Structure 1
């Protein structure tokens, strides 16, 4: 069955949205597995101001479109149309995904409370000023994060994120299965340390971390002096043995 033309803005009396047209363009002009650029996209949809956003929205409907952060072989301005999802040009197929539904005030408050009223990406609290900006104050939002569970299934979970961290982040994905495998690879001592950080919901720098931070600020000659002191201490320890 042939697909409708991506160039048509009307299907009878029904308006065809730009996301549906973008999907048809990918399916008929680009083809699965092939690369397209932002210039290609904007040339085809010169009449659509936010066509990049419409392409990203297709990912919510099962369309897989890889960016350079997903596929290191792609250049910064390239994207790869990997596979097709829902036929969003068909009425009823482009309903808002469940994980995109609006949250109630009570739901948002519950997420904020669970996350300690802190951005889980940078740790800033609502109303605090950013260290590099004495004017802008942090505003907290609730983001939907795709999580790949240990059994391989996917779900969207809610997390607190400040407006700055959420800006331009796209659809972040967390692979819980891979993370749990890394936890299993830790030594017993490392697991105890990590468990302590998790229980406190913060990491207190160890003395060696603070020393490293101070060392990194030193001029070259001072760094050499520290390195020499370590060599001398190692030599003295060897003599004691």
Structure 2
């Protein structure tokens, strides 16, 4: 789509949301950073221009904050991807699947035990080795279903995992395939973890984790002890 083919963002006959979308396209550009101050200066007559911009997200527009992109400051946004052409008739309607209602959000957080399903951290819990605490939110994850179809499902993730795993694809069919390859004993053991949604590590597994974290010289000491036993 050529810039010349779209209306001016200064066109007062358009809705504020449409003008905001056009401003992002023509004045900012996909992939570029802009500040809240620049947005407000472009629309001085609109007291809630931040909300009009957020409304674009429900129409497929991706506008990142520092919660999504750690390279941004709290006052910065990045225009990541264009969505529906909301300046055209019929294009500004919200897709039902795009909006996550408050009851739906609570249901998913409860279902996921209010834990990040990638690293297991809880909201407000400090990350190891730092003072930063975890913030939980819902992420849309593409899932390969049995039969090869792809759906989008909601999952709880912390900010770090959501940023680092952007574009992550979940292959449920692959998991089911590996499940079929397990022995009966392995399946029963796995079923116990699934039942409580938690994995209990054996002493041997904990020892392996501790060994792997040792510096090279210390790992050598452990190897010598094993050779002498």
Shorter-chain TM band: 0.5 to 0.7
Question: Counterparts in 2 of 1:82-97, with a 5 A limit?
Answer: 92=90, 96-97=94-95
Question: TM-score scaled by structure 2?
Answer: 0.60
Question: Counterparts in 2 of 1:3-42, with a 5 A limit?
Answer: 5=2, 7-10=4-7
Q: 1:164 and 1:222, CA in 2 relative to 1: closer, same or farther beyond 3 A?
A: closer
SS in 2 for 1:213: helix
Q: How far off is 1:104 after superposition?
A: 1.7
Q: In the alignment, which residue of structure 2 is the partner of 1:187?
A: 183
SS in 1 for 2:198: coil
Distance in 2 (alpha carbons) for counterparts of 1:88 and 1:139: 31
> Does the 8 Å contact 1:139/1:163 carry over to 2?
yes
Q: How far off is 1:7 after superposition?
A: 4.5
Larger radius of gyration: 1
Q: 1:149 and 1:232, CA in 2 relative to 1: closer, same or farther beyond 3 A?
A: same
> Does the 8 Å contact 1:99/1:144 carry over to 2?
no
Question: Are residue 147 (structure 1) and residue 143 (structure 2) matched?
Answer: yes
Question: TM-score scaled by structure 1?
Answer: 0.57
1:123 pairs, out of 107, 120, 124, with: 120
SS in 2 for 1:144: strand
- Name structure 2 gaps, 5 residues minimum: 34-56, 62-83
Q: In the alignment, which residue of structure 2 is the partner of 1:74?
A: none
SS in 2 for 1:167: helix
Distance in 2 (alpha carbons) for counterparts of 1:168 and 1:89: 33
Q: How far off is 1:198 after superposition?
A: 1.2
User: After superposition, what is the alpha-carbon deviation per residue over 1:161-220, rounded to whole angstroms, capped at 9, x for unaligned?
Assistant: 122222354333211111211111222222222212111211122111121123234454
RMSD: 3.6
Distance in 2 (alpha carbons) for counterparts of 1:94 and 1:157: 24
Q: In the alignment, which residue of structure 1 is the partner of 2:204?
A: 208
